[in-house]
Chains A and B, each alone.
Chain A
Amino acid sequence: MKKKTLSKSTWTYIVVILVWAVVMILQQAGALSSHLQGLLVPATYYAIVAVGLNICVGILGELSLGHAGFMCVGAFSSSLFSIAMQNTLPVGIRFPLAMLIGIAVAALFGFLIGIPVLRLNGDYLAIVTLAFGEIIKNILNALYLGVDSKGLHASFTSQMDLGLEADGTMLINGPMGISGTPRDANFTIAIVILLIALFVAQNLVNSRDGRAIMSIRDNRIAAESVGINITHYKMLGFVVSAAIAGAAGVLFSHSISTLQAGSQYFGYNVSILILVYVVLGGIGNISGSVLAAAVLYLLPELLRALSSYRMLIYSIVLIAVMLFNWAPAARNWRTKVAARLTKTFGRKERA
């Protein structure tokens, strides 16, 4: 009897749910250290943003160096909403709404950037998104926003210039950012968002729209000649990618109570870190991004026991993974080993 083999995308969901179940069981059994529990949500939102970036880099074939910027706008907009609604809406309604707002704002910025840039051909998207990330970061660092009985006050110079009444509260305090975001996100919610992101990404790849997007990546002229609207499909891919990054930003801001637009959270180094997850997980390989992001985020934290040497070891591991994935000798070796494994296991399967 020939069993119907499950598709790769189904396996991805199953593995993610399995990991979630294992973690939950360990947590209930008290076998999970609080250090590791604290790492679960960050590892998941980096996996989500890696999935988002993979749509842009792997499916659309355009390089984006500003996904941290989309995370940033998603994080700040949703945080502002959650703080404003903290006492009026219950968590069950507030957090999904905050999530939608974060996604919508990130998608809007993706759309605005896409209008001029996606009409062009070449590396312009990389240049513009790089600048976008830095601009967003700098604007938020200079922005002072407060609210009092007279309404909203904003300033780009200093807290003093707001002229806030004594009873007013600061919403965004320049470089000090937003503090006091309710901590609504947890690991289960993060996994649900990850599954949704995976669902969107994998279905996009297998859809009519996805095939159009990939045809642009593979040969722009051929795609244009069969009547595919290049700008439209590029925009579609890019906006979806930005929206998923925004969702990751919402998880970011709702898992920690202080939010600042610092370089260590939303700078171009972070964008490149996300790109590293995508490249090491395999460009165009959605489930690979999730695995790479989770492992590479956890690694430096799990190496804490090595104290000063941990960043050194981390970079060596990065180089090793890179070689293992892409060096010709390593690829040959992998095919050989895989062939041998299939021989042994494959025969048993048939018997």
Chain B
Amino acid sequence: MKRWNKIMSSMLAASVAAMALAGCGSSSGSSTADTSSAAAAATEAAAGTTEAASSDAAASGETFKIGVIGPLTGSAAQYGTGVANAAQIAVDEVNANGGINGYQVELQAEDDALDNQQSVNCYNTLKDWGMQFLLGSVTSACSIAVSEETHNDNMFQLTPSGSAVDCVKYDNAFRVCFSDPNQGTKSAQYIGEHKLATNVAIIYDSSDVYSSGITNTFVTEAANQGLNIVSQTAFTADSKTDFSSQVQQAKDAGADLVFLPIYYTEAALILQQANAIDYHPTFFGCDGLDGILGVENFDTSLAEGVMLLTPFAADATDELTQNFVKAYKAAYNDTPNQFAADAYDGIYAIKAAAEKANLTPDMSVSDICDAMETAMTEISISGLTGDPITWTADGEPEKEPKAVIIKDGAYVSAD
């Protein structure tokens, strides 16, 4: 009897599992990003033509489908949601203005929770949905993992913020942001050319691809610029609350500039701890420092004089940035960061290239990718993170870095 029980239960369990497998085989993910309605409402206010345009698309039934992959939950959720939100704003604008080549654009965002395997799962989900262009993944490691898949499928991939070198090693992959080596080199050049310091200390996160990537090239270029690196100290993701020993080392070594190729959460702590031991060098960072003024319970007067090399500052006065920040604030009640700006430019880059190549939604993914590969190198867009931005065939963007200095609690252009 007992054995019969067990057999029955294992058979039942197996059939349930099989049903679950079969059931999801036929149904493809039909969820849309939960943020879309808010954004749609916002743009409708901005442009009254939305309704007319979208009903056209419904009639023709053909749309371009763009997928977004990024960490929408977890420790890096800010980056992923920034990208998903900004991409939605850009897509709504594009749709309101007649879409790409007259076709409306659909967007779907998937959450990879900063995990390579999940990122690939997201990619497969989006492929089932019928994605033709991929805007993602947001983070470097995930982007590299996904690029193996897009390379196999010959799917066009544009990562907004995957900065590691390997993100664009395939012909079908492009990026919007600067690569890590690029940022390190440009930072060293900027410091050298503007004679900001001679003795430099570096505090970086050795467990982070972004941070160690920048550090490596900064060190190489610093030698050419005549900079003297007096202290190079690391921390890891598991020990990023107490920086007193790193700061003390920089102080003892007599550094007059501390280079921080890290994210703003840790940088805020470093600034506080440097202040506590009465150490006031120039702090210089990369785009990861963007957002330091928004850290909760952080005395922003400590960030006074901090310089950062970033392609985007939300307080910039040009019309494009101001409109974008206004739309973003209206839709999500938040200030967009650099990731959001990269995603916004990414959507417009896809639009420009798709128009250049005269794409239509009925083309195969592979044909679209081939056409996009050529078209990307021929376009030039004026975006939030650079004006103009052009792309080289190896997937790298060409744009001028902007240095920003924090003055009176706001980002001001340093030039």
Binding site for B on A (CB under 8 A): 5-6, 8, 11-12, 15, 18-19, 22-23, 26, 31-39, 42, 138, 141-142, 158-160, 174-177, 179, 183, 256-258, 260, 262-265, 287, 291, 294-295, 298, 301-302, 304-308, 311, 338, 341-342, 345-346, 349
Contacts and interface: CB of A to CB of B under 8 A. Distances in A.
25 contacts: A8-B7, A8-B10, A15-B11, A15-B14, A18-B18, A26-B25, A33-B28, A33-B124, A35-B128, A36-B24, A138-B236, A158-B215, A175-B212, A176-B213, A177-B141, A183-B148, A256-B145, A258-B145, A265-B115, A304-B29, A304-B111, A308-B34, A308-B73, A338-B5, A345-B8
Contacts of A265: 115-117
Contacts of A158: 206, 212, 215-216
Chain B: interface size category: 35 or more
Contact of B30 (A183, A257, A305): A305
B4 A35 contact: no
Contacts of B238: 138, 263
Contacts of B114: 264
B17 interface: yes
B414 interface: no
A232 to B, nearest CB: 32
Contact of A31 (B26, B118, B121): B26
Contacts of B55: none
Contacts of A304: 29, 31, 110-111, 125
B206 A179 contact: no
Nearest to B118: A301
A160 B17 contact: no
B144 A179 contact: yes
Q: Is the interface of B mostly helix, strand, loop or mixed?
A: helix
B45 interface: no
B219 interface: yes
Nearest to A291: B13
Nearest to A341: B8
Nearest to A26: B25
A311 B73 contact: yes
Nearest to B22: A26
Interface of B: 1, 3-11, 13-14, 17-18, 20-22, 24-31, 33-34, 72-73, 110-111, 113-118, 120-121, 123-125, 127-128, 141, 144-145, 148, 164, 166, 206-209, 212-213, 215-216, 219-220, 236-238
Contacts of B209: 175-176
A3 B26 CA distance: 39
B177 to A, nearest CB: 17
A142 B25 contact: no
B20 A302 contact: yes
Contacts of B17: 19, 291, 294-295
Nearest to B31: A305
Given A179-B144, A256-B145, A265-B115, A26 B30 contact: no
Given A15-B11, A256-B148, A301-B118, 20 more contacts: A8-B6, A11-B6, A15-B14, A22-B21, A35-B28, A35-B121, A38-B120, A159-B212, A175-B209, A176-B212, A177-B141, A256-B116, A257-B148, A265-B116, A295-B17, A307-B33, A307-B111, A341-B5, A346-B1, A349-B4
A121 B187 CA distance: 57
